[in-house]
Amino acid sequence: MAELMGGMRWTLRIAGILGILLIAYGIWPVVGFYRIASAVEARDAAALGKRVDFRALRKSLVKQIVSTYLELTGKEKKFGLLGKTIAIGLGTSYADPIVARLINEETLIDLLSKGRTGDGGGGRMSPELAPFSKSALKSGWTTWLHSEYRGEDYFVYLPPDKPADKQFRVKLSLSQWQWKLAGIDLPKPLRVQLAQELAEQREREKD
For 74-127, what is each residue's pLDDT tens digit?
A: 765 555 554 455 455 555 667 778 888 888 777 899 889 988 766 555 556 777
- Tell if the pTM clears 0.85, that is, is over it: no
Per residue in 169-201, pLDDT tens?
999 998 888 899 999 999 998 989 888 888 887
Predicted local distance difference test score (pLDDT) of residue 88: 57
Per the model's pLDDT, the better-predicted residue between 203 and 131 turns out to be: 131
Please report which confidence band the pLDDT of residue 137 belongs to, taking 50, 70 and 90 as the band edges. confident
pLDDT digits (tens, 9 = 90+) for 139-165: 877 888 888 988 789 999 999 989 988
- Rounded Cα distance between 168 and 146, Å, is 11
Nearest C-alpha neighbor of 130 from the set 167, 79, 182, 171: 167
What count of Cα atoms within 13 Å lies in the side-chain half-sphere of residue 176? 6
* pLDDT tens, residue by residue, 38-87: 999 999 999 999 999 999 999 999 989 888 888 887 765 555 554 455 45
Is pLDDT of 23 > 50? no
Between these two residues, 68 and 5, which has the higher pLDDT value?
68
